[in-house]
Structure 1
Amino acid sequence: VSTKDFLERPLAGSQVQLCLLEKKVLNSWSHIDPGTFRVRGSNYLRDKKKELAQNCAAYYPFGVDVYLSPQKLHHISRFVKLPDIQTSSKLPPLLVVNVQVPLYPASLFQNETDGEGMSFVLYFRLSEGYSKELSPLFIENIRRLVDDDVEKIKGFPMETSISFRERLKILGRVANLEDLPLSAAERKLMHAYNEKPVLSRPQHQFFLGDNYFEVDIDMHRFGYISRKGFETFLDRLKICMLDVGLTIQGNKPEELPEQVLCCVRLNGIDYAKYQPLMTNGA
């Protein structure tokens, strides 16, 4: 690959086009209602029931990029031009979610956790109405996530301290499951796991800038079974409508129902159409 094939400091969100949800244009992204995601309900600690989230989020999407890379790209906000947004809020005005996806075969022995891959980079802006729409406790929990607070967990024989960031949870689902060419076994598996939230720990990293907070989700470090499952799914990404969101797990009655941190739909992304990113000198 020649140097001219690399993108140098592109505008954040300039690689993938925005499309209206109902148009279903491939290689695009769309806004999606936070209220379509199922989260822990008000009485979850008693009845274990999920319910549709409140139809508001802390952050809303304004762009999506896809970048190929010979190795994992960490702290991708350094290499793109983010909007110069400042705010008097205690929360960062921008949220960047960098999903690092491997493109090399999964290893049973987990000795390979870096190599050729791509980054799905999702950009979000703080909602103007967040202080009125979200519960004060959820806002406080976002601040704790950003500030890397530690919480004490009661255990036997003694209390332990755990990073609050361990509560970050990925919401994901394939919205057009019935349209995908799947074997009977694959379909059964997808129905069982589609829309099941998963904690991002320990495969995550966090970076705080002047006006942004970045979350890197490292799929290179996912377990062998997860990696293998995603590997067989890679060639279907180009016809897949994928909804991605984040929440903060509610562990106490006063933290329920859970609320959505951010969410977006990716419409049939063909990663082969995208370019690498210039990272020299950063």
Structure 2
Amino acid sequence: HAADFPLRAVGYLSHKKKAPSAEPFYELVGMDVFRTERRVDRIFERVEFPKDLPKVPHAEVPALLVFNLQFPGGPQSIVPDGDGPGASVVLYFRISNQTLDLLHRRAHHEQLAGGDEEASHVAPALNLLAEWCQRAPEDPKFRGRFKCMGFIEEIEKYGIPPIAASYNGKPVLIKKTGTLYRGDNFIEMDVNIHRFTYLCRISLIA
């Protein structure tokens, strides 16, 4: 659940406090796994996306976010080569009805969520999402603000090395390993895990 993830609260730079996440702006609606001989980019050219995506009342915010996580396979060298056999794990996220409602309110210049506590928590995050969607395709530095955060419950059951397990639930910035594509009502982010550090790679594919 989104609330399980502690995120930086408004004013974090001054008070250093985190707070539970609000409800997610997008919902996971599908997942594909493809074995590949080489890294496969631009999944949107190979998979047919849904045709019934909603119209979003914001020019930059897409109805569909696609994440193509390119995992390496087999023995790993200490120095990454950036390509090779492995698998693409593709996640499809559709914008939620709640997010559409918030964007409609924003578009009509209404006071977001009535000015209550939810509004103060959601509004900055929604503004940041819109700004990222607008600037990230053309601005590599701004695109590099994108973070991934994974969490494995009862991680001790899976024999993951303690040094790797210590990063469970910690955010990871996707900078040079991320490539972004914008299309008709979607954004795809390809994450080249082949280029991650040796420790990250062997931990993720263990």
Give the TM-score of the pair, scaled to structure 2. Answer: 0.79
Q: 1:74 to 1:191 in 2, by over 3 A?
A: closer
- 1:1-282 equivalences in 2 (<5 Å): 33-54=1-22, 56-84=23-51, 85-90=53-58, 91-110=61-80, 112-130=81-99, 131=102, 135-148=122-135, 163-182=141-160, 186=161, 188-231=162-205, 233=206
**Counterpart secondary structure, 1:163:** helix
Q: Deviations over 1:7-47 (max 9, x none)?
A: xxxxxxxxxxxxxxxxxxxxxxxxxx211112113453234
SS in structure 1 of the partner of residue 203 of structure 2: helix
Superposed structure 1 runs of 4+ greater than 4 Å apart: none
CA 107–37 in structure 1, closer or farther in 2 if over 3 Å, else same: same
Which stretches in structure 1 are left out of the alignment for 5+ residues? 1-32, 151-160, 234-282
Distance 1:136 1:52 in 2: 15
**Larger RCO (CA within 8 A; separation ≥ 6):** 1
CA distance in 2, matches of 1:53, 1:83: 28
Q: Distance in 1 between matches of 2:86 and 2:165?
A: 27
| Distance in structure 2 (CA, Å) of the matches to 1:162 and 1:209 | 18
| CA pair 162-100 structure 1, distance change in 2 beyond 3 A | closer
Q: Aligned partner of 1:80: which letter?
A: V
What is the DSSP-based 3-state SS (H/G/I as helix, E as strand, rest coil) of the residue aligned with 1:65?
strand
* Distance in structure 2 (CA, Å) of the matches to 1:205 and 1:89: 25
Describe the shift of the 1:162–1:216 C-alpha distance in structure 2 as closer, same or farther (beyond 3 A). closer
Residue 149 of structure 1 deviates from its aligned partner by 5.1
Q: Distance in 2 between matches of 1:64 and 1:80?
A: 11
Specify the alignment match of 2:105 in structure 1: none
Comparing both structures, which one devotes a greater share of its residues to helix?
A: 2
Quick check: 76-85 or 129-138, which moved more?
Answer: 129-138
For residues 159-192 of structure 1, what are the alpha-carbon distances to aligned partners after superposition, in whole Å with 9 as ceiling and x for unaligned? xx8632111001111113132245xxx2x32442
Root mean square deviation, CA, Å: 2.4
Amino acid at match of 1:52: P
Aligned residue for 1:217, secondary structure, equals strand
Cα contact 1:144–1:164 (8 A) shared by 2: no
1:230-282: per-residue Cα shift (whole Å, max 9, x none)? 34x2xxxxxxxxxxxxxxxxxxxxxxxxxxxxxxxxxxxxxxxxxxxxxxxxx
Gap regions ≥5 residues in structure 2? 103-112
**How far off its partner does 1:95 sit?**
0.8
After superposition, the C-alpha distances for 1:76-125 in whole angstroms (9 at most, x for unaligned) are 02211111124042211111111110003222233x21110101111111
Alignment partner, residue 272 of structure 1: none
Structure 1 residues 162 and 204, CA gap change in structure 2 (3 angstroms): closer
Distance 1:230 1:86, change over 3 A: closer
Give the whole-Å Cα distance in 2 for the aligned partners of 1:224 and 1:72: 17
Q: Is the 8 A contact 2:164 2:203 kept in 1?
A: no
